[in-house]
Amino acid sequence: MKTTDIPIAKLHPFEGHPYKVLDDGEMDDLTESIRENGVLSPLIVRPLAGTDEYEVISGHRRLHAAERAGMQSVPAFIHEIDRDEAAVLLVDSNLHREHILPSEKAFAYKLKLEALAHQGKTSRQVGEKWSVAQVSEAANESQRQIHRYIRLTKLIPELLQMMDEGRIAFSVGVELSFLNERQQYAVLDAIDLNDCTPSYSQACRMHKEAGTISAERISEIMAEEKPNQREQIKLRWEDFRKYFPASYTDRQIARDIMHGLDLLKRQRSRDRDAR
């Protein structure tokens, strides 16, 4: 298949595509590379019916970098396919990128699932089951994991952003996705108030109460001290050994330590009684 040089002005992003195009360090490097060498890997596009313009299927980052580099046109492969076929190709062409954010995977899997289901000729239930299996196989993820990623599309943007930044764990995000929008914003307020994010245990409890949980109850759960917030004191066993005979076993040392602590506790109790 030969490439065609297409004016950038005639290229449009795929509507609703899930992958972010960011002006970050990687984009700066890509822009400089294209400025020096041109677009080495052609874009994949499809014609827009009734026009002489095209929708980008693969190459949104290259297109943006080419614009930044001042190019007027870019090489592309033209595919005569419909939107559903294009959605599947778009997702599959990006599945194995080195860096994919959780939100990108979530909306990519949803986009492909909807496209496959729309193409299906069977009943909705059977078609959806078949579609999930197809997405799972291509992504090399279990069907359960595909469903969990798609759950993330129900998160409010602020919580989804926290997931992408690594501030909220994937499993926590999945549990919070079962809360409605009002409840999720209550979680966001509690995060700001307590300066901490919910643990998996807290998120599970909120999920279980999702039908009736109030903002006050969310705040109450979030205000609880989590084990990983408590100060941890580490004591080395070697520090204790110097107080015991060299012949002592670890069991004997532990026995004497507990005995000594018990004596100390009784002594303090007598001191309080004597006051």
Q: What percent of the chain has pLDDT over 90?
A: 59
**Predicted model pTM:** 0.72
**Residue pLDDT, tens place only, 19-60:** 889 888 989 999 999 999 999 999 999 999 889 999 999 999
How far apart CA 271 and CA 235 sit, in angstroms, is 28
According to the model, what pLDDT value does residue 275 have?
Answer: 59
More confident residue, 205 or 268: 205
121: pLDDT confidence band, cut at 50, 70 and 90?
very low
Classify 17 in phi/psi space as left (phi over 0), alpha (psi -120 to 50) or beta: beta
According to the model, what pLDDT value does residue 126 have?
Answer: 43
Average pLDDT over residues 242-258: 82
pLDDT at 117 over 50: yes
**Residue pLDDT, tens place only, 86-110:** 999 999 888 777 788 999 999 999 9
CA angle 13, 16, 19 (to 5 degrees): 75
